[in-house]
Amino acid sequence: MMKKSFASLLTSLILLPAYSHADSPYFSLKDGDGFKRFSISAGWLHAMPQGKANPVYINTRVAEGTQSKVGDVSTDSVLNAIDQSTVAGKAWYGLLNTGYKDLLGGNTLPSALAGTATINGLSQWEAPNTGLEAQNADTLGILTNYYFTDNWSLEIKAGIPPKVDIKGKGTIYAPLSGSATPLKDGSLLGNAIGNIISQAGGDIPLKQDIKITDLEQGKRAASVRAWLPAAELHYQFGRSGVNKFRPYVGVGVMYAYFNEVKLNPDIEADLITAGHMIQNIQDNKAGAALDKKTSSANPIVDVKATDTFAPIATIGATYDFNENWFAVGSVSYSKMNNEAKITVTDSNTGKELINSKTKIDIDPLITYVGVGYRF
């Protein structure tokens, strides 16, 4: 809708002279008093985003205090998840590592022993020192101007939409915390024994930052096609036919639309694995989640970037070769940001497993060098 609205606005601005009174000194298809009404130029447009990465915010379907049966789980996964900063954690780690794993060769904790886990920390969190940053892009720029007077004009900036690489920053970890009650496996006897253990302070404390994905892996985290049309009101110093070199300044608005978003396949695979982890917890298979096993879900990843409007300011200059042909150069800056949204959904049920978003500060500095023609 925003894209169509902006396109309609640009069309109206371009056709405005044709709809206006023929004798108007400002809106006419005829040459002005000593100046041409229209100009068009084409050249090299180079965009250099200046913004920095912002933290990624994550939400999942696992509410705080969720209880999930552990099921069969590898002993190493349990050991890695134990909070050894506590006395109970150190005791359980020693018992499972030295007694169960080393002496008895127990590489797997069966569901009857593993019991039930109470899970915290996964409902929502902010991943510090992470984010996404847009990279430099080059494309063919096309600038068209309609001159109300010899000094005032309306410029429409367009061009071939460039493919922009998005660089990732940092690694996303899930801050798991909670506790596990051994033997509490859902049976009457198991629950009774487990409750006694829990009341006696014998729960296994859990705390682990589980790696979800490294946003810096590969050449890019994602790529996107960027459509960045803009409209500016310009004031150009000097006079046509008198000054060959004419500086100008301009202010206006830029519209940004992004499509063809493609995520790094390795990051996508990591997010699918994370989706399985969430579903396994929902399925009372918390141990399978720790072991990063496939779940009953079929996770799919969807990535979107929001549209945005932003102010833009330009300084530049033209140099006339003759009455019609000229060279042009400019530098523009736009204070622009948008939001990237990544969701992981179970295609079997349509339920959203993970929802994440991050603000992308684009703030592009745009240089342009081209050759134009006035008519």
Residue 6 confidence class, pLDDT cut points 50, 70, 90 = very low
Q: Please state, in angstroms and rounded to a whole number, the distance separating the CA atoms of residues 141 and 160.
A: 7
Q: How high does pLDDT run on average in the chain?
A: 91
Instruction: Write down the pLDDT at residue 218.
Output: 94
Q: Please state, in angstroms and rounded to a whole number, the distance separating the CA atoms of residues 206 and 204.
A: 6
Domain-wise residue ranges, the chain = 2-55+128-170+215-374, 69-121+178-210
Q: Please state, in angstroms and rounded to a whole number, the distance separating the CA atoms of residues 281 and 210.
A: 14
Q: What tokens appear for 95 in the block?
A: 């018992």
Indicate if the pLDDT at residue 36 is higher than 60.
Answer: yes
Counting Cβ atoms within 10 Å, is residue 62 exposed (0-12), middle (13-18) or buried (19+)? buried
The letter for the amino acid at 236 is: Q
Classify domain 2-55+128-170+215-374 at the CATH class level. Answer: mainly beta
Instruction: Write down the pLDDT at residue 28.
Output: 60
Tokens 């179970």, residue located: 346
- Report the pLDDT averaged over residues 148-155: 96
Instruction: Write down the pLDDT at residue 30.
Output: 64
Express as a percent the part of the chain with pLDDT over 70. 91
Q: Please state, in angstroms and rounded to a whole number, the distance separating the CA atoms of residues 271 and 37.
A: 55
The DSSP bridge pattern shows strands 299-305 and 337-346 to be antiparallel
**Tens-place pLDDT, residues 188-226:** 777 777 788 878 788 999 999 999 999 999 999 999 999
* Contact yes or no for 68/104 (Cβ under 8 A): no
- Nearest 5°: phi and psi at 139? -160, 175
Instruction: Write down the pLDDT at residue 19.
Output: 44
Torsion angle in degrees (nearest 10) through CA of 114, 118, 119, 123: 150
Task: Give the N- to C-terminal CA distance of the chain in Å, as an integer.
Answer: 34
Q: What angle do CA 298, 303, 305 make, to 5 degrees?
A: 160
Least confident segment among 53-62, 100-109, 173-182: 100-109
Instruction: Write down the pLDDT at residue 193.
Output: 79
Contacts (Cβ under 8 Å, ≥6 apart) of 14: 144, 146, 156
**Tens-place pLDDT, residues 82-120:** 999 999 999 999 999 998 888 778 899 999 888 999 999
* CA distances to 134, 236, 374 from 247, in Å: 30, 6, 16
Indicate if the pLDDT at residue 239 is higher than 60.
Answer: yes
DSSP state, residue 112: H
Q: Please state, in angstroms and rounded to a whole number, the distance separating the CA atoms of residues 345 and 348.
A: 9
* Contact yes or no for 49/136 (Cβ under 8 A): yes
- Report the pLDDT averaged over residues 61-72: 96
Q: Please state, in angstroms and rounded to a whole number, the distance separating the CA atoms of residues 345 and 354.
A: 7
Residue 32 confidence class, pLDDT cut points 50, 70, 90 = low
Instruction: Write down the pLDDT at residue 361.
Output: 96
Instruction: Write down the pLDDT at residue 217.
Output: 96
Instruction: Write down the pLDDT at residue 189.
Output: 76
pLDDT higher at 362 or 5: 362
* Contact yes or no for 257/307 (Cβ under 8 A): yes
Residue 7 confidence class, pLDDT cut points 50, 70, 90 = very low
**Tens-place pLDDT, residues 261-312:** 999 999 999 999 999 999 999 999 999 999 999 999 999 999 999 999 999 9
- The beta-carbon contacts of 186-192 under 8 Å, at least 24 apart in sequence, are 186/69, 186/116, 190/112, 190/115
Instruction: Write down the pLDDT at residue 179.
Output: 95
Instruction: Write down the pLDDT at residue 87.
Output: 94
* CA distances to 70, 242, 292 from 79, in Å: 14, 82, 15
The model's pTM is: 0.86
Instruction: Write down the pLDDT at residue 58.
Output: 98
Specify the length of the chain in residues.
375
Instruction: Write down the pLDDT at residue 31.
Output: 61
- Report the pLDDT averaged over residues 33-37: 83
Residue 21 confidence class, pLDDT cut points 50, 70, 90 = very low
Tokens 């399925």, residue located: 283
Q: What tokens appear for 323 in the block?
A: 């009455």
Counting Cβ atoms within 10 Å, is residue 189 exposed (0-12), middle (13-18) or buried (19+)? exposed
Indicate if the pLDDT at residue 20 is higher than 80.
Answer: no
